[in-house]
Amino acid sequence: MTNEQEIALRNFEARVRQLMMAYQDERRKNADLQAQLEACQQQLAGAEQTIDGLKKDYDTLKTARMIEVSGDDVKESRAKIARLIREVDKCIALLDV
């Protein structure tokens, strides 16, 4: 082998080693990024579960507020029911005659 061929072979070997080291470095970076991606996906899933729970709580609160009756409404409702009962009693009394 000539001197030029030996130099070319050494340069080639050096570049192959550099390429192999770069490949290993990229594999490590890829593995790190995959781990970060998985952690972010788990965090996102947890956040979505929290959001779903909060939406259910909000809907429940909204329903409770719609059903909530103030003191004035209760008084009016009782008065109306009392009037209706009196009317029914009058009708029954008229039927008995």
Distance between CA atoms of residues 13 and 55, nearest Å? 62
Q: Looking at residue 75, what is its pLDDT?
A: 82
- The answer on pLDDT for 97 being more than 80 is no
DSSP secondary structure string for all residues of 5-60: HHHHHHHHHHHHHHHHHHHHHHHHHHHHHHHHHHHHHHHHHHHHHHHHHHHHHHHH
pLDDT 10s digits, 16-71: 999 999 999 999 999 999 999 999 999 999 999 999 999 999 999 988 777 666 66
Q: State phi, psi for 16 to the nearest 5 degrees.
A: -65, -45
Q: Looking at residue 76, what is its pLDDT?
A: 84
What does pTM read for this prediction?
A: 0.54
The tokens describing 31, both together, are 């593995």
Rg (CA), the chain: 41
